[in-house]
Amino acid sequence: MSDMTTIARPYAKAAFDFAVEKGELAQWAEMLTFAAEVAKNETIKDILDSGFAADKLTEIFVSVCGEQLNEFGQNLLRVMAENGRLKALPAVCDEYLLLKSEWEKTIDATVISAIALTDSQLDAISEKLAKRLERKVKLNCSVDETLIAGVVIRAGDLVIDNSVRGKLDRLSDTLQS
């Protein structure tokens, strides 16, 4: 996977720089997300492995993506096809989205709670995370009754486990050591 990231990073950076220059961050995110999903398709994976010429691969990709790609997005695919890198499209998309969220100073945080949280509780979590991480926070919430009570929050590398299940697990680990 790190090889794919290494391959993807320059393409993602080039797309990101171009998108910033043109003021099209959201449009490029949509194009790359769509192209990445196309690249994940089993039929397309087989075509990528078949050894078609770069022109033919580009033609296939552009015809499948249709109007989802503008001329610059098509040009990126053409360059990637010429270099035999179309398999890296999902990683390019991931890297691009990381650059975009860094640029916009936003982060997605996952909040897993034992019960559904109220809007005021979610606002408080969002406000405290925004202050701690110095970013705008978008919460993705879900309920997991096995937590017993409390919440688990994941934002990037940060994990805050304030659930009863987590506390019991830590207590068990402490008692066993």
Which of 102, 121, 149 lies at the terminal end of a domain, its last residue? Answer: 102
The CATH number that applies at residue 163 is: 3.40.30
How many domains are contained in the chain?
A: 2
- Domain ranges, residue 54: 2-102
State the pLDDT at residue 1. Answer: 47
Q: What's the average model confidence in pLDDT over 133-155?
A: 88
Are 39 and 45 a contacting pair, CB within 8 Å?
A: yes
Which of 66, 85, 102 lies at the terminal end of a domain, its last residue? Answer: 102
Looking at the fold, whether 7 and 94 belong to one and the same domain comes out as yes
State the pLDDT at residue 111. Answer: 93
Looking at the fold, whether 112 and 92 belong to one and the same domain comes out as no
Q: Does 89 have pLDDT greater than 80?
A: yes
Q: What's the average model confidence in pLDDT over 53-72?
A: 82
State the pLDDT at residue 68. Answer: 85
Looking at the fold, whether 111 and 95 belong to one and the same domain comes out as no
Tens of pLDDT, residues 1-35: 467 788 888 999 999 999 999 888 889 999 999 98
State the pLDDT at residue 119. Answer: 92
Looking at the fold, whether 52 and 118 belong to one and the same domain comes out as no
Q: Where residue 93 falls among pLDDT bands split at 50, 70, 90?
A: very high
Q: What's the average model confidence in pLDDT over 79-97?
A: 87
177: number of Cβ within 10 Å: 5
State the pLDDT at residue 50. Answer: 77
Looking at the fold, whether 75 and 125 belong to one and the same domain comes out as no
Looking at the fold, whether 143 and 60 belong to one and the same domain comes out as no
State the pLDDT at residue 2. Answer: 60
Name the amino acid, one letter, at 36.
A
Are 152 and 160 a contacting pair, CB within 8 Å?
A: yes
Looking at the fold, whether 116 and 92 belong to one and the same domain comes out as no
Which of 47, 80, 102 lies at the terminal end of a domain, its last residue? Answer: 102
